[in-house]
Amino acid sequence: MESLSGSAIAPLELMESVGLTTNNALYVLDTLLKKYEIRHNVKIIASGKILTPDDAIITMCMGADAVGIARGFMMSGGRIRARMCSGFGLHLCPVGMATQDKKKRASYLVVKEGKEIGNYHNNLIKGMKTVLSVMGIKHIKDLNKSRLTFKNQNGEIYFDIDKYFHHKLHV
């Protein structure tokens, strides 16, 4: 049986409805660490549904010191999201990317897919630099919550993230 760990193929029921979203969890974690004056002792690496340059920038604004990206790299390497690996059918990866099946693993074109993965990485970094430029920021260390604007489901705009989350949590 194939591993689900770190492969972005958790069962849909777990991916969509268990726990907090990455950004909500980051808000809570970063706020509490600062409240107890221990944030400087902790490095936060966030992962979960981070795919695009703006996803990475927003996650870092929310308090992550670094991001872990699985889905984008797996998709750039040929993953097709057939959902067969996560509990459907025989639990077999149809692509052979993350499999213990020796025949499928042998047919996976590492050099070709490695170039695609490299292209994804280069474009991710390029896109992040573009977003930083648009924001008027020269380095990711200057990202913080004050750089974000939020809009709730009613179309109300919040320039203060604390007010946004306070309203969101108390509605």
pLDDT in tens, 14-58: 666 677 888 889 999 999 999 999 999 999 999 988 999 999 999
Domain ranges of the chain: 12-138
Helix axes 110-135, 53-61, angle to 10 degrees: 50
Instruction: Of 69, 70, 51, give the one whose Cα is nearest residue 3.
Output: 70
User: Would you place residue 168 in the very low, low, confident or very high pLDDT band (cuts 50, 70, 90)?
Assistant: low
Token reading at 31: 């706020």
> C-alpha angle with apex 55: 160 to 169, nearest 5 degrees?
40
pTM score, whole prediction:
0.78
Which CATH code fits 12-138?
A: 3.20.20.70
